Amino acid sequence: MHSRAQTAPPAPSARTIPAGTDQLDVAAGLLALLRDTTTEPRPDIQLEALTLAVAADLPVLLWGEPGIGKTAALTQLAASLDLPLTTVIASVHEPSDFSGLPIVGDDPAEQGVPMAPPDWAVRLVRAGRGLLFLDELSTAPPAVQAALLRLVLERRIGALRLPPEVRIVAAANPRSSAADGWELSPPLANRFVHLQWTHDQEVVVRGLGGTWPRTTLPRLDPERLPEAVDFARRAVCGLLAARPTLVHRLPSGETRRGGPWPSPRSWEMTLCLLAFATAAGSSREVLSLLVRGTVGDGPGLELLASLDRMDLPDPESLLADPAGAVLPERGDLRQAVLDGVVAAVRGRPEKSRWDAAWVLLARALETGAPDLVVVPATTLAALRRADWEVPAAIDRLAGAVALSRGADRAAARSGVPVKAGR
């Protein structure tokens, strides 16, 4: 057999372009190819948190360094949700652009002076839906920020009210990287869900290769809506009842006042987000971004910790059947359960309940770290009354308690910190 040499196709050159073609048209074709990208389903907790807050109809503020992709994310979000995008650069507008321009009517003494809205607001009302993107919020002077309060909270611009189907998202750069930046005023900052926007190297690489993550609205389970609302209310109200100082806490520093902090308004937004996240089955990572971005890191983490404890077994149920009790695997949650059982016995000290608590501690010793039973066992032993016989379960616990205390003393002498079991 004879082989034929394969000849490569001719390389594109100026001769392949039809004569007379305008080079700007060719450049436009090249730009169109560069913009021709696709999307793919890809887990992205930032996008999921943003989309969930948009679905909950809460104003969102994206914080990030310049060039990090905040504007591109909003453009892609609007396209994915099929919402017309209206971009307003807050820093180049006057306060009257958001509060409305006074227009003298036929008889101001009788009809007053109406406040005319800007053209972009009129277009949004005519469309009936859309995504309003307020960019460069941190470079808007205080007077403009004050004018934005009514827009963000009441959705009013002059005499015009935006339709309910219009969602509001803003973006800002940290003051250290903003051109002539200002700190956000506390009243304006407290109206937003603050999300820290960072770049993911893999997302950037795949995106530049032509494939970006796809944004979709969260799928809310209709059957879980009442349960989600009840869960969110119990969680937020339970925390605030136990920690009343968290209801309203204005930070002392100017910078922190421009971020998320707890107030009745931000707790209401947190409750809404918790209900949406529960109905959507969102991950703990997404919920953490949203909660901490609404009431701040400290109160947000306290709420997340209290959510874990909401699912803990009832101490009375454990005392009723200590042999069949199922204890949490996580050390901190197991410790909380054991402390709750001992507290229940202290609240109603009876011999049968005291014995049941010892059985439960013995079960905890068999299935988890021994050091977790030391404090509950010591406290429970102190509740013993003179006429109560020592149960057999104590013998199984005494060795663990003595060993743990000996290890603590040895660690103290050597200066090695002791870690609680997990």
pLDDT tens for each residue of 281-337 = 999 999 999 999 999 999 999 999 888 887 788 888 899 988 888 888 888 888 888
Helix axes 374-382, 393-414, angle to 10 degrees: 120
Q: Does 346 share its domain with 250?
A: no
Return the pLDDT at 58: 96
Domain final residue pick, 181, 213, 245? 213
255 occurs within a structural domain = yes
- Provide the token pair at 365: 């010793």
Please provide the distance, in angstroms rounded to a whole number, between the alpha carbons at the two ends of the chain: 73
Q: Does 324 share its domain with 257?
A: no
Domain final residue pick, 287, 310, 333? 310
109 occurs within a structural domain = no
4 occurs within a structural domain = no
Q: Does 146 share its domain with 246?
A: no
Give the number of other Cβ atoms within 10 Å of residue 94's Cβ. 12
Q: Does 60 share its domain with 209?
A: yes
Q: Does 118 share its domain with 238?
A: no
Q: Does 196 share its domain with 80?
A: yes
The closest of 153, 164, 96 to 124, measured between CA atoms, is: 164
Work out how many domains the chain is built from and give that number. Answer: 3
The region, left, alpha or beta by phi > 0 then psi within -120 to 50, assigned to residue 383 is: alpha
Structure letter (DSSP) for residue 20: T
206 occurs within a structural domain = yes
Q: Does 333 share its domain with 303?
A: no
Domain that holds residue 406: 315-414
Q: Does 182 share its domain with 119?
A: yes
Contact 261, 251 (CB under 8 A): yes
Residues in the chain predicted with pLDDT less than 50, given as ranges, are 1-15, 403-404, 406-408, 410-411, 416-422
388 occurs within a structural domain = yes
Q: Does 90 share its domain with 209?
A: yes
6 occurs within a structural domain = no
Cα separation, 362 vs 382, whole angstroms: 17
Phi and psi for 251 in degrees, rounded to 5?
Answer: -60, 150
- Provide the token pair at 82: 């099929």
148 occurs within a structural domain = yes
Q: What's 66's domain CATH number? A: 3.40.50.300
In tens, the pLDDT along 364-417 reads: 888 888 888 888 888 888 888 888 887 776 766 766 555 445 444 544 555 544
Which residue type, as a one-letter code, is found at position 308? D
Q: Does 58 share its domain with 188?
A: yes
The region, left, alpha or beta by phi > 0 then psi within -120 to 50, assigned to residue 290 is: alpha
Q: Does 304 share its domain with 193?
A: no
